[in-house]
Structure 1
């Protein structure tokens, strides 16, 4: 989500924030491919074709386009999406070159480019990485930051389903199963479990992945009730429920 703190004085996504998202995705793609520690070596010229506005959803995705002995090129796209309109526009695209840091955990040469295997189960998947500022004194992801990530995923899943103004009405249940360590990738998997006239129940799975070994753990499960509201903050039928009613009529 593009929040006011991420924007410039024009109310659009600050270019440095956009580049940070793209670099993070490039790192995650490289680490998942090579199972090694990587650093960014360079990026090609990046032209911004369209802005992302406050309140937009931004979607960054990347894939491997070249693999050398110790370097890898990742092409990253950044797409903005209107929360209610669903209008999507390409903001920018660029290629990042990352290099594997040589050490006992680095196996060279890097594996060759593999065919893309896209998940098509209809669930919303979002990834991030745990940095030191998000950890507690045990070096694991702070529970509040885990809740923040799951709440954001629930908001985006409900908004994409309803194309309405969405607020959180309740956190129904949260179970923490496994700690998530600094440097691990976190993935939220969201799906609509139930939809009423104005409410939507979203189920969330939180997974942790060790980027060097590929080991994955189911870290948490949560359920949130989200509600569509009007300009006065009162519950109102969301677009999906209206469409279902018209279809049924």
Structure 2
């Protein structure tokens, strides 16, 4: 898969899974965790637009319209909707998806106001770039959606770069989401045929995982996951690794379950 076939432009997307540790006592996504996800996407979208450092100044009214339940895939989509001289606004939508049914529920929408800070803004003339003209997005059947996450210090090793275990967790999560969406069955990871890391990912950079189903068997799927890093200040991306994961569809007794899988 070449870099030209990866969807890096357009809205910023973050996909995650609601695990029990993210839920409240009702078994749904804790509101504070949802807000943290939304703010994170707003920060990445703002940084991708301005290539400078940002802080959150405020967020406008946010209503939670539907819950995200334990086991749901939750997708956050952020788009820059207003640009001033040193501030901008990002609209963020949060959508929950049932991994088995494919049902998607719009959970929340909010606008986050971000303010540019630091020396990078002065180096760029002290003003943020204007909002681009409307762009028509053409869906290419050969493209694959890229999911993003930011590297905070607690995810790094003592070398200051992304800890390998956290990189593997991000790749495994991407493989799970791709496999679930492909077969709409309960899936588990059966193994990994190979994972190679070719470049460090530093604190403050964005991790991009791009999953793709490359083969299917009677009850198994082979998922290729590319790992990329993005320097938000320089608008530069580099491939940092790739891996292949075997995911298996299972029934209620955790036995392999046949499905009609076509790549």
TM normalised by structure 2 equals 0.89
1:49 matched to 2:65? The reply is: yes
Runs of 4+ in 1 over 3 A off after TM superposition: 115-122
1:214 matched to 2:235? The reply is: yes
Q: 127, 133, 140: which is aligned to 1:109?
A: 127
- Alpha-carbon shift at residue 124 of structure 1 (Å): 3.5
1:82 matched to 2:98? The reply is: yes
1:13 matched to 2:36? The reply is: no
Match of residue 255 from structure 2: 234
Q: Which moved more, 1:48-57 or 1:106-115?
A: 106-115
Q: 2:52, 2:120 within 8 Å by CA — same for their partners in 1?
A: no
- Alpha-carbon shift at residue 109 of structure 1 (Å): 1.3
Structure 2 matches for 1:1-249, cutoff 5 A?
A: 1-104=17-120, 106=122, 107=124, 108-114=126-132, 115-116=134-135, 118=137, 120=140, 121-238=142-259, 240-241=260-261
Q: 1:124, 1:191 within 8 Å by CA — same for their partners in 2?
A: no
In structure 2, distance between residues paired with 1:95 and 1:40: 11
Report the CA distance shift for 1:74/1:188 in structure 2 as closer, same or farther (over 3 A).
Answer: same
Match of residue 9 from structure 2: none
- Alpha-carbon shift at residue 112 of structure 1 (Å): 1.1
Where structure 1 has 5 or more consecutive residues not aligned to the other structure, the ranges are: 245-249
Task: Tell me how large the CA RMSD over aligned residues is.
Answer: 1.3
Count of paired positions: 241
Greater strand content: 2
Report the CA distance shift for 1:195/1:92 in structure 2 as closer, same or farther (over 3 A).
Answer: same
- Alpha-carbon shift at residue 102 of structure 1 (Å): 3.5
TM normalised by structure 1 equals 0.94
In structure 1, distance between residues paired with 2:73 and 2:90: 22
- Alpha-carbon shift at residue 196 of structure 1 (Å): 1.1
Report the CA distance shift for 1:124/1:21 in structure 2 as closer, same or farther (over 3 A).
Answer: same
